[in-house]
Amino acid sequence: MIESLIGFSALLVMVLLRVPIAFAMGLIGFVGFGYLVSWSAAGSMVAGTAYETGVSYTLSVVPLFVLMGNFVTRAGLSDELYTASNAFLGHRRGGLAMATVVACGGFSAVCGSSVATAATMARVTIPSMRRFNYSDSLATGAIASGGTLGILIPPSVVLVLFGVMTETDIGKLFVAGLLPGLLGILLYLVAVKLTVWINPEAGPPGERVPWSGRIQALKSTWAVLGLFVLIIGGIYGGVFTPTEAAGVGATGGFLIALLRRKLTVKIVLDIFAETVQTTAMLFFVLIGAIIFSNFINYADLPTILIDWIRDLNVAPLTVMAVILLIYIFLGCILESLSMILLTVPVFYPLILELNFAGVPPELVMIWFGIIVVVVTEISLITPPIGINVFVLKAMLPDVETRTIFKGVTPFWILDIIRLALLVLIPGIAIYLPSLMK
């Protein structure tokens, strides 16, 4: 127990000193394992972990979905999604911000990355909102918050990593993200309405599009809808596995970009290079997390926590509330992916030991995975780290950081409500997976 606490403390210090999280977790895990067992065993553990992670068939889903997202981004599908959303919502007060949220949700369905979603939609939507004199806080708040849907609405790289670390069915995790993702979109629309109700000048109405234009704009989204239905429908129907779905998605993304004449040899090579860089970053962080996880597991920290909770004899929901408070706190100081990879190995054995009302034992990790991703979404817009906020700041240097944080506040509050609903009504997350064979 003491060794684990020392390891966590050293890791937090290294993170605060801006040591890359992958190297920090790997180093602490290696030193801790070497101290508890032997240095030769620690070296073998590190080598084995790196090799097994690199050749894992299950993890091949990661580069394929990243590749699909890169093809889809270059194909310009984000423009069609925003145009269609704007056609139906833009004439309302705050309608352009609502259209942004809906477009972010649609783009998330074929992207899988929060940062990529926020960055792409900022490029597409900011000029339109500024043309109609939207406040910078509402415009950036809608983009930063809508971008967080990228790690929840399937396909999601974060859900893949959670599934690998907890040995949970990735296909069921994908399907479980659908209803919470739609709930997130709905609540974000409420946040926009509340914002313009308090300050009508923040989101003036845009131009009204006739129904003929709306239908035409909707038809242009066939590529996104078709690719999403193909991937998730195939997984839900048992036609193919998540890994096969990733291959189909990458191929579909390539064909869409090719048919739209968005590809050249140079662009394809750039896409491959971006995919390799992103995948390498994810694998380095994952390898570091597994090494650190091996250390804390050998130090018996999860077992000690389970015994401690049993001795306290508290309700399972109380334990879940404490875990969520820890996540919200860590979200203020850690990057989201690092936070998940650092904490899941500690918490998931504890969750498996508890009996939550309304959650079948075989679906408890599906439910917990969605909750972890939603609380991670909150961390993406929580000060002072809030990575989506700083992505927008980098793209819009004329907007102050505090303005963006002010803009995400109503969305953050509605996210807390969504998190509470998922905890208290587990069926939102587990209903669709419960219907799968």
Look at residue 50 and tell me if it is in a domain: no
Split into its structural domains, the chain has a count of 1
Q: Which token pair is 388?
A: 């989506």
Look at residue 302 and tell me if it is in a domain: yes
Look at residue 175 and tell me if it is in a domain: yes
Its domain, for residue 212, covers 56-434
Look at residue 37 and tell me if it is in a domain: no
Whole-structure pTM value: 0.87
pLDDT tens column, 287-309: 988 898 888 888 877 777 777 77
Look at residue 101 and tell me if it is in a domain: yes
Q: What is the pLDDT of residue 1?
A: 63
Q: What is the pLDDT of residue 437?
A: 66
Look at residue 284 and tell me if it is in a domain: yes
Look at residue 205 and tell me if it is in a domain: yes
Q: What is the pLDDT of residue 143?
A: 93
Q: What is the pLDDT of residue 242?
A: 87
Look at residue 13 and tell me if it is in a domain: no
Q: What is the 3-state secondary structure (H, E, C) of the chain?
A: CHHHHHHHHHHHHHHHCCCCHHHHHHHHHHHHHHHHCCHHHHHHHHHHHHHHHHCCCHHHHHHHHHHHHHHHHHHCHHHHHHHHHHHHHCCCCCHHHHHHHHHHHHHHCCCCCHHHHHHHHHHHHHHHHHHCCCCHHHHHHHHHHHHHHHHCCCCCHHHHHHHHHHCCCHHHHHHHCHHHHHHHHHHHHHHHHHHHHHCHHHCCCCCCCCHHHHHHHHHCCHHHHHHHHHHHHHHHCCCCCHHHHHHHHHHHHHHHHHHCCCCCHHHHHHHHHHHHHHHHHHHHHHHHHHHHHHHHHHCCHHHHHHHHHHHHCCCHHHHHHHHHHHHHHHCCCCCHHHHHHHHHHHHHHHHHHCCCCCCCHHHHHHHHHHHHHHHHHHHCCCCCCCHHHHHHHHHCCCCCHHHHHHHHHHHHHHHHHHHHHHHHCCHHHHHHHHCCC
Q: Which token pair is 352?
A: 């498996």
What is the pLDDT tens value at each position of the chain, 437 positions in all? Answer: 677 778 878 887 887 787 887 888 899 999 999 988 899 999 999 999 999 988 888 888 889 888 988 888 888 788 888 888 988 998 899 999 999 999 998 888 877 778 888 888 888 888 989 989 999 999 999 999 998 888 888 888 888 889 888 889 888 999 999 999 999 999 999 999 999 999 999 989 888 888 888 888 888 888 888 888 888 888 888 888 888 888 998 999 999 999 888 888 999 999 999 999 988 888 888 898 889 888 888 887 777 777 777 777 788 888 888 888 888 887 776 777 778 888 888 888 888 888 887 788 889 999 999 999 999 888 888 877 778 888 888 888 888 988 999 999 999 999 999 999 999 999 999 999 998 86
Find out whether 139 and 125 touch, Cβ atoms under 8 Å. Answer: yes
